[in-house]
């Protein structure tokens, strides 16, 4: 089998609800879906997380020609060709995101060709269900609207909810935290994502002021460039620190782990280097005694890849789910997500269990 063509589809969907974080907001969701075709008539899908236009340009102008003619079963060769064979190394950024998508699509092809789920290729299924959390309470001027959204999510069966705040100084966010905590009750786990919106001093003040709200973890309190500040925060924080969605490859996570800068790491398969790279990151985290909760906030393709990874890696925890309806989610799955009592069933499917119907391309595609 040989790779014959690679295409990038940029899909766009207008928001149904506000999605404001500490550093601003957006009005549409966009996904870079990479389609890899073969001479056997089998196609695979992957997703790159980053700038869709940059990913499309990199695949079209450089990467597609490099891997055309290669065997998609030889995933390590494909990965090395895309990432490690240049005179100047691409260590992070859009090139890694684009290569992650192509690598992901090769796993999908291999699973389809062998008629097995991808998790069987990654080591086999070690669990039948994945505990999940909803990442869909965004910053609002009106704290009551955030509380109402949190109640909606809990009503769907989620036992863990993540909220995005930090658009105001720590003291001014207390009413929002209090409103959400009162809305969901004491038994629901509450996470806070600052989306790297605070400086270290503000983050430390937030840690002190927000103790009463029993926060499961504080995510990305400062810029991902400030590893030393993260380490200082973690050493003083009574609440766990989570980070990693903006980190790249095994070596980037080694730096984060060696610095003891996070209690939970969050690699994104479509950004960190693909499925095998992320599996290696999980093994490294396991050696440090650090759990992994993969970042998973894009289309159904990334969701599927994350489910397969977590189904096969024991030290992963808490599947991130988007309940907003703003992403192109279930439309890309060949299996229907079975969610109950806070957990998602691991599907029986072929490959990643994803497809890109022409109707979806017509409806959401962006030239």
pLDDT band at 355 (very low <50, low <70, confident <90, very high): very high
Bin 113: left if φ > 0, else alpha if -120 < ψ < 50, else beta: alpha
Reported as a single tens digit per residue, the pLDDT across 317-334 is: 999 999 999 999 999 999
Reported as a single tens digit per residue, the pLDDT across 48-106 is: 999 999 999 999 999 999 999 999 999 999 999 999 877 577 889 999 999 999 999 99
* Mean pLDDT over the full length of the chain: 96
pLDDT over 90, % of the chain: 95
**3-116+357-366 has which CATH code?**
3.30.390.10
Give the residue carrying structure tokens 């490690």. 84
Give the residue carrying structure tokens 């990965």. 79
pLDDT confidence of residue 87: 56
pLDDT at 26 over 90: no
0.85 cut: is pTM over it?
A: yes
Instruction: Tell me the C-alpha distance between 116 and 318, whole Å.
Output: 24
Query: At 360, phi and psi to the nearest 5?
Result: -70, -40
Q: What is the topology classification, in CATH, of domain 121-345?
A: TIM Barrel (3.20.20)
pLDDT band at 350 (very low <50, low <70, confident <90, very high): very high
Query: Where are the chain's structural domains?
Result: 3-116+357-366, 121-345
Q: Which helix (H) or strand (E) holds 112?
A: helix 94-114
Reported as a single tens digit per residue, the pLDDT across 173-206 is: 999 999 999 999 999 999 999 999 999 999 999 9
Asked if residue 307 lies in contact with residue 346, where contact means CB atoms within 8 angstroms, the answer is yes
């Amino acid at each position: 089998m040989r790779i014959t063509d690679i295409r990038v589809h940029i899909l766009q969907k207008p928001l149904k609800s506000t999605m404001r974080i500490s550093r601003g907001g957006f009005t549409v969701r966009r996904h870079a879906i990479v389609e890899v075709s073969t001479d056997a008539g089998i196609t695979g899908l992957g997703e790159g997380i980053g700038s869709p236009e940059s990913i499309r340009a990199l695949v079209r102008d450089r990467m597609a020609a490099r891997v055309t003619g290669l065997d998609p079963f030889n995933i390590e060769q494909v990965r090395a060709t895309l990432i490690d064979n240049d005179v100047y190394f691409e260590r992070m950024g859009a090139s890694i995101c684009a290569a992650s998508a192509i690598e992901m699509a090769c796993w999908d092809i291999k699973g389809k060709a062998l008629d097995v789920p991808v998790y069987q290729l990654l080591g086999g299924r070690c669990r039948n269900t994945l505990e999940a959390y909803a990442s869909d309470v965004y910053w609002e001027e009106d704290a009551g609207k955030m509380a109402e959204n949190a109640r909606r999510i809990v009503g769907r069966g989620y036992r863990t909810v993540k909220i995005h705040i930090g658009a105001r100084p720590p003291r001014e966010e207390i009413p929002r935290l209090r409103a959400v905590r009162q809305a969901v009750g004491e038994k629901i786990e509450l996470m806070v994502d600052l989306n790297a919106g605070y400086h270290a001093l503000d983050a430390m003040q937030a840690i002190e002021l927000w103790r009463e709200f029993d926060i499961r973890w504080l995510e990305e309190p400062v810029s991902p460039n400030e590893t030393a500040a993260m380490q200082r925060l973690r050493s003083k924080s009574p609440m766990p620190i989570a980070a990693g969605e903006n980190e790249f490859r095994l070596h980037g996570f080694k730096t984060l782990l060696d610095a003891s800068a996070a209690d939970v790491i969050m690699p994104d398969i479509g950004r960190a280097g693909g499925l095998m790279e992320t599996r290696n990151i999980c093994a490294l985290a396991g050696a440090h005694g650090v759990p992994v909760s993969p970042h998973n906030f894009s289309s159904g393709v990334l969701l599927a890849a994350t489910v397969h990874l977590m189904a096969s890696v024991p030290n992963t925890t808490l599947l991130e789910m988007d309940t907003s309806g703003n992403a192109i989610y279930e439309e890309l799955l060949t299996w229907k997500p079975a969610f109950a009592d806070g957990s998602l069933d691991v599907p029986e499917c072929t490959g990643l269990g994803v497809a890109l119907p022409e109707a979806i391309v017509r409806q959401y595609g962006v030239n």
